[in-house]
Amino acid sequence: MAAPAYRVLLCDLRTDQLLDAVPVSGLSIDDYIGKAGSLSATIPLPNAAVAARVRAALVPGRTAVWVERGREIWWGGVLWTASIQSTERGFLSAQIQAGTWDTYLDHRMVVDTLTATGTDQFDLARGLLDYVQNTPGGDIGITVGTELSGTLRDRTYSRYDLPKVRDLLDQLASVQGGFEWRIASYRDAASGRRVKRLQLGAPTIRTGTSEIVLDHPGPVLAYTWPVDATVQANAWQSRGATNNDNQAETSYPLMSRLLVDSEEIAAGWPRLDGSSDYSTVEQQPTLDAHASADLAAALHPRTIPELTVDMARSGLSPALLGATIRLRIRDLWWPDGLDERYRVVGLAITPPERGHSETAKLYLEAA
């Protein structure tokens, strides 16, 4: 059975008005929990009429890109670059690169001082997004919910730091007891409208009510299983903002407590030092919370296995980011069989083209 056709829609970023739907080749899309996703594709320009249409619709920084698979929305984001290429024979094409909606927040800064006390961290995240979208020209149609995490935070964001909103959201989410966030793209089942929605989860984003079983050999065509200690640490200290109140004296940054995991060292591990910088953090408790979270992450770095799966046999879609799968492998490395549960934290899809079936790479972490 043939896979549903893919289609790329070009829309106005602020109004989501459809500008054009274009055929593409070499389409590649990916999306993740915890980092920005991307799109790359080539738009053939076979004649003057198509070239004129595409030229009018491709405006980097102003054009939204949606990817449809059948009637479902499988990806959405902002067009950031376009490159027109001509071959020696005069064949024209446009190479495009886009990033998921969260990349827009890399281009927005806080230019007013914002203060919150005893505020749920989800409300803080929504407040930053509201700040972005309540400025003239800043509303790109991202919707939010009303869910709460139950964790209260105090935060002050100074206009003098000119912080990027994406960085503030990542820092807010990464403290001890934090959360995960992403901006999901989908089609509303009732209205049929394309939706961009802020998705929050504490401590993690979880989706789906039943697990998906994936076998190798089977729907899992190949896998990569990294083991990496280059980012491992069992001692940690973080630097915060520098006190510059008295210019006549030497200035020093705020420092977190030095954290050392004595149990790891007693178990035979050599000491491995790590550090992090939070140049806008001025409160000791906040900096200590960052340091504790960073040490916890570095003590046993997440192993992110990568699976290549046959989409037709797996039943997966981008809506399952955050879902739990049951992975079963039996081969020379796992002679007794691996049978474990993992959470899907990334998905990179390659649509079918001549000679190639529809496949996806899944990026996993322990459930």
Supply the range of the domain harboring residue 14: 6-104
Q: Has residue 42 been placed in a domain? A: yes
Q: Which two tokens stand for residue 118?
A: 């005893």
Q: Has residue 229 been placed in a domain? A: no
Measured between alpha carbons, how far is 290 from 34 in angstroms, rounded to an integer?
16
Do both 258 and 182 map to the same domain? no
Q: Has residue 206 been placed in a domain? A: no
Measured between alpha carbons, how far is 330 from 291 in angstroms, rounded to an integer?
39
What's the CATH number where 61 sits?
Answer: 2.30.300.10
Count of the separate structural domains present in the chain: 4
Helix (H/G/I), strand (E/B), else coil: 202: coil
Q: Report the candidate in 39, 46, 43 with the shortest Cα–Cα distance to residue 84.
A: 43
Indicate the helix (H) or strand (E) that contains 2: none
Q: Has residue 336 been placed in a domain? A: yes
Residue 51 backbone class (left: φ over 0; alpha: ψ -120 to 50; beta: rest):
alpha
Do both 260 and 321 map to the same domain? no
pLDDT tens, position by position, 248-277: 677 889 999 999 999 999 999 999 999 999
Q: Which two tokens stand for residue 83?
A: 């490159």
pLDDT tens, position by position, 301-315: 877 889 999 988 887
Measured between alpha carbons, how far is 200 from 361 in angstroms, rounded to an integer?
24
Do both 19 and 99 map to the same domain? yes
Q: Which two tokens stand for residue 130?
A: 């509201």
pLDDT tens, position by position, 102-156: 999 999 999 999 999 999 999 999 999 999 999 999 999 999 999 999 999 999 9
Q: Has residue 306 been placed in a domain? A: no
* Sequence-ordered list of residues with C-beta below 8 angstroms from that of 319, at least 6 positions apart, any chain: 184, 186, 207
Q: Has residue 310 been placed in a domain? A: no
Do both 42 and 123 map to the same domain? no
